[in-house]
Structure 1
Amino acid sequence: MPIATVNPATGETLKTFEALGPEEIERRLALARSAFEHHRTLPFKDRAALLNRAADLLEEDQQDIARVMTTEMGKPIGAARAEAAKCVKAMRWYADRAEKLLADEQPPAGDVEDSGAARATVRYRPLGVVLAVMPWNFPLWQVVRFAAPALMAGNVGLLKHASNVPQTALYLEDLFSRAGYPQGCFQTLLVGSGAVESVLRDPRVAAATLTGSEGAGRAVATVAGDEIKKTVLELGGSDAYVVMPSADLERAVGTAVKARVQNNGQSCIAAKRFIVHTDVYDDFCDRFSAAMKQLTVGDPMDEATDVGPLASEQGRQDLEELVDDAVHRGATARCGGRRPSNLDRGWYYEPTVLTGISEEMRIHHEETFGPVAAVYRVSGADEAVAVANDSPFGLSSNAWTRDEAEVDRFARDLEAGGVFFNGMTASHPALPFGGVKRSGYGRELSGHGIREFCNVTTLWHGAQ
């Protein structure tokens, strides 16, 4: 895949970039290792000053970088601005809290005495150079939610971004440089996926984090496992959205629309499988389909647009194949199910609601990365849990109910890294984020995320 900005609203290639050669990659690896030896010794207040400065600059750049993101991957311009603002918030959150999150821990005095120590401490020390392999769908946020905690912990970063968002990738390197980070603390590697293995195998790289497809995660995990290097993986998701009879149906429907079409439907944590109790199924489907039909599909630079194009022609083709397979096997398209007739350029697809989903359909087991919703009818909580868990993925989930017994049931039994009750799944700096099953392992964000790339060190002191 070429490293290029291709506007998904038009299909036009705007700018291409040459991949870095072996000599330049070697130079950057050496620079990263050298930068780590300095950065790891900085006091937290100095690291915080750097990150807060980066946040200030990003806030100033919000409109400009939003336009770059929209041009490169097609998200509506309002959503792009919101993504930049979210990154600013996360940077400041970690700048303010990292020192406390990574403070030395003192085991209970009785346990220390029992170990034979005069005193003992647990300390969090940075691992070193961390390789980040990041996706195009949230090209700023996915990187910042890794970089902010990693840099505050004393690590340094190498970014291998998706090949279709090179300008966003280069902006991130420039942002941290302008903020005053020493050369080598955060670098962008404009390389293809074929170069990832050699970089990850380099002894100067201590660990890796990847957000992306199941296949990409498996490839990185295989190499890292062979090298015995720490990894955090956030892979695909096919999140369940359960609606029970006691739910506030108006809110459940309104949130369902937002949850399905956020980022043009291209989000790992977007609700994708809507599992609705039979008592409210018909009403939900009528309201949901009507609301999806009313969405405005068009130019993502237009403030009035609700749903822009998919990020790539291949992505639209993959989505079309899933929908066509489902319809061929008996599903009904309550709305959408085709390309918009009024848009002759770009990779657009209509917001779509499918009912009558069955197990033999590909869409039952595969992730839909676009504005397509699959709706299931269930008879009760038992069946809702069974359908929700009948997926290879387990990133997050939603449950709409005002019945406390059902809340307890779903909290106990839904197989996912998160369960959001009566609201939409979202990531926040204070809350751990990650999945189970084929959605990956490890956690980002919160105190759990900042400690993922730390050496949890025991300091044991005998009597002098």
Structure 2
Amino acid sequence: MTDVLGTHTTELSGRAAQLLRDLGADLPTPGALTARTPITGEPLLTLAATEADAVDAAIDRAATAFRSWRVVPAPARAALVRRLAELLVAHRRELAELVTLEAGKIRAEALGEVQEMIDVCEFAIGLSRQLYGYTMPSERPGHRLMETWHPLGVVGVISAFNFPVAVWSWNTALALVCGDTVVWKPSDTTPLTALACHALLRRAAVEVGADPEVHQLIQGGSEVGARLVDDERVALVSATGSVRMGRIVGPRVAARFGRCLLELGGNNGAVVTPSADLELASRAIVFAAAGTAGQRCTSLRRLIVHSEVAAPLLQRLTKAYRQLRVGNPLDDGVLVGPLINERGYGAMRSALDRALADGGELLCGGERVDGFGTDAHYVTPAIVRMPAQTEVVREETFAPILYVLEYQDFDTAIALHNAVPQGLSSAVFTRDQREAERFLAADGSDCGIANVNIGTSGAEIGGAFGGEKQTGGGRESGSDSWKAYMRRATNTVNYSTQLPLAQGIKFE
């Protein structure tokens, strides 16, 4: 097939195969699982899904490797992550290109995602010497009270298509330095990037003398993930995906008393106040709402703007939106690539129809961009002015739709912002310190991420990433997120010759 991209699908397929070889991955055995490129919608490669008994065997290998990995000193475990970071630096462009081919991200965003992997590896390396526990004063003389942190076990990682490599690295880099082993089930939409990352980590393990079995890769659909979720040998399941997926995974892991770390939906909002720097706000809003074609969990979906500045702000935004170049993400100058597949496009069209039926006004965008093949789905990012926060606005649509709501007072803005089921990322644009502090206060934004004068997306790895309510409550990446991957023990040491009891109890 050749389309107006001027790119043969067979060329893209061949390029994907060559990138896998360059990254040290074996070409997959052909099978029923198809990796497609959203650039054209056509197949890249096929591969076999992991059979049920092979999933069990992978978990068993990880559980066996854990028994020796957990006693390796944490700074020594960091050698594996350090070597992985070095390989990522050396192969940054190849891995980023594979992300573009398989997930449709523009080059800059794909390179940024790989850089995020490198950054979190660096964070984890330093963390390996900082797995601190507290020492507390004991009420009993001659006693010491303290806590220690120990490796947890096998960590199951279930990742989504929109960040096919970064989210894996958030979990894996931390889990490995914490002494855990990892079984990774990537999205069945992005299996090739998973093959590449698995190969790089296995190579790193061999080169530093670590056991390569500390990392396992399983591929396939929900039935493969279900075996990972239900296996009692998996101590922690870290799952990124939809709220619907979280409603399934959470109770099943809880039923076997496993741990769960959920990163689910984000219907993110930004408040723009009368004092806001509209030029700064406009730039932040456009990137947050249109970047990655609206397919980030942190994408801006609701703009809550004061009526005094609504007109000039919307004028800026619509002008900027009309200048966004939508097209092949491999081309220079393209800012918005394709939606991942037809289902994503259908969800966008349905949401726009519902918004207009609710009285919304389409200010710009929402059209399909033709010329990329019938199986590819490119759209112009849309801005819709809404009369109220209707049900479709309260839902997360994984597409570039920005709903605009107006407000008159700041309390109303916060109430509108919080009146959705999701609670991931949020922002306020203001030059009023009182408004900024109020937004960050206990009665302000109810999200896990609250920003002032920056957008909702583009979080740094140093802070904990995650959200509240239907977003799942999980935390990954920076700060003290490492605690999710370890178990805590409280220790009391009696170095006296007496045996006093706590709370002054006498038992003679």
1:191 to 179, 199, 220: 220
The aligned counterpart of 1:178 is 203
2:174 paired with 1:154: no
The aligned counterpart of 2:450 is 419
> Is the 8 Å Cα contact of residues 243 and 471 (structure 2) preserved in structure 1?
yes
> Is the 8 Å Cα contact of residues 466 and 475 (structure 2) preserved in structure 1?
yes
- Specify the code of the residue in structure 2 equivalent to 1:145: W
The aligned counterpart of 2:503 is none
The aligned counterpart of 1:408 is 437
- Could you say if the C-alpha distance between residues 357 and 154 of structure 1 is closer, same or farther in structure 2, counting changes exceeding 3 Å? farther
Q: Secondary structure at the match of 1:300?
A: coil
The aligned counterpart of 1:379 is 408
- Could you say if the C-alpha distance between residues 322 and 20 of structure 1 is closer, same or farther in structure 2, counting changes exceeding 3 Å? same
How many Å apart are 1:146 and its aligned residue?
0.8
How many Å apart are 1:116 and its aligned residue?
6.3
Q: Distance in 1 between matches of 2:58 and 2:32?
A: 21
> Is the 8 Å Cα contact of residues 325 and 361 (structure 1) preserved in structure 2?
no
> Is the 8 Å Cα contact of residues 173 and 186 (structure 1) preserved in structure 2?
yes
Q: Distance in 1 between matches of 2:55 and 2:128?
A: 31
Q: Deviations over 1:161-180 (max 9, x none)?
A: 10011111111211111111
- Could you say if the C-alpha distance between residues 273 and 350 of structure 1 is closer, same or farther in structure 2, counting changes exceeding 3 Å? same
How many Å apart are 1:119 and its aligned residue?
1.0
Q: Distance in 2 between matches of 1:370 and 1:22?
A: 34
Q: Deviations over 1:16-52 (max 9, x none)?
A: 1111123322221221011111111111221111111
How many Å apart are 1:191 and its aligned residue?
2.6
How many Å apart are 1:361 and its aligned residue?
4.7
Q: Secondary structure at the match of 2:345?
A: helix
2:99 to 69, 74, 87: 69
Q: Distance in 1 between matches of 2:94 and 2:323?
A: 30
The aligned counterpart of 1:288 is 317
- Specify the code of the residue in structure 1 equivalent to 2:218: L
> Is the 8 Å Cα contact of residues 41 and 373 (structure 2) preserved in structure 1?
no
- The number of residues matched between the two structures is 458
How many Å apart are 1:86 and its aligned residue?
1.4
The aligned counterpart of 2:256 is 227
Q: Distance in 1 between matches of 2:372 and 2:41?
A: 12
The aligned counterpart of 1:353 is 383
> Is the 8 Å Cα contact of residues 370 and 378 (structure 2) preserved in structure 1?
no
Q: Distance in 1 between matches of 2:431 and 2:101?
A: 42
Structure 2: segments with no counterpart, 5+ residues: 1-30, 497-508
TM-score, length of structure 1 as denominator length: 0.96
Q: Secondary structure at the match of 1:447?
A: coil
Q: Distance in 2 between matches of 1:79 and 1:462?
A: 55
Q: Secondary structure at the match of 1:71?
A: helix
The aligned counterpart of 1:276 is 305
Q: Deviations over 1:223-259 (max 9, x none)?
A: 1011111111010001111100111110001110011
How many Å apart are 1:447 and its aligned residue?
3.5
1:454 to 473, 483, 486: 486
> Is the 8 Å Cα contact of residues 329 and 361 (structure 1) preserved in structure 2?
no
Q: Deviations over 1:44-90 (max 9, x none)?
A: 22111111100010111111111111111111122101110111011
2:51 paired with 1:26: no
2:420 paired with 1:391: yes
Matches within 5 A, 1:432-451: 432-451=464-483
> Is the 8 Å Cα contact of residues 320 and 338 (structure 1) preserved in structure 2?
no
> Is the 8 Å Cα contact of residues 31 and 183 (structure 1) preserved in structure 2?
no
How many Å apart are 1:357 and its aligned residue?
4.2
> Is the 8 Å Cα contact of residues 117 and 460 (structure 1) preserved in structure 2?
no
- Could you say if the C-alpha distance between residues 441 and 451 of structure 1 is closer, same or farther in structure 2, counting changes exceeding 3 Å? same
- Specify the code of the residue in structure 1 equivalent to 2:283: G
The aligned counterpart of 1:99 is 129
Overall identity of the aligned pairs, in %: 31
Matches within 5 A, 1:6-21: 6-21=36-51
> Is the 8 Å Cα contact of residues 319 and 369 (structure 1) preserved in structure 2?
yes
Q: Secondary structure at the match of 2:118?
A: helix
Q: Distance in 1 between matches of 2:367 and 2:436?
A: 37
How many Å apart are 1:117 and its aligned residue?
6.3
1:123 to 148, 155, 171: 148
How many Å apart are 1:443 and its aligned residue?
1.1
Q: CA RMSD in A?
A: 1.6
Q: Distance in 2 between matches of 1:32 and 1:342?
A: 47
How many Å apart are 1:459 and its aligned residue?
1.3
2:366 paired with 1:337: yes
Q: Distance in 1 between matches of 2:478 and 2:290?
A: 26
Q: Deviations over 1:76-125 (max 9, x none)?
A: 1221011101110110121023321x123211x2xx1x156611221111
Q: Deviations over 1:426-459 (max 9, x none)?
A: 3222211111110111211223211112111111
How many Å apart are 1:2 and its aligned residue?
5.8
Structure 1: segments with no counterpart, 5+ residues: none
When structure 1 is superposed on structure 2, of 293-302 and 187-196 the one drifting more is 187-196
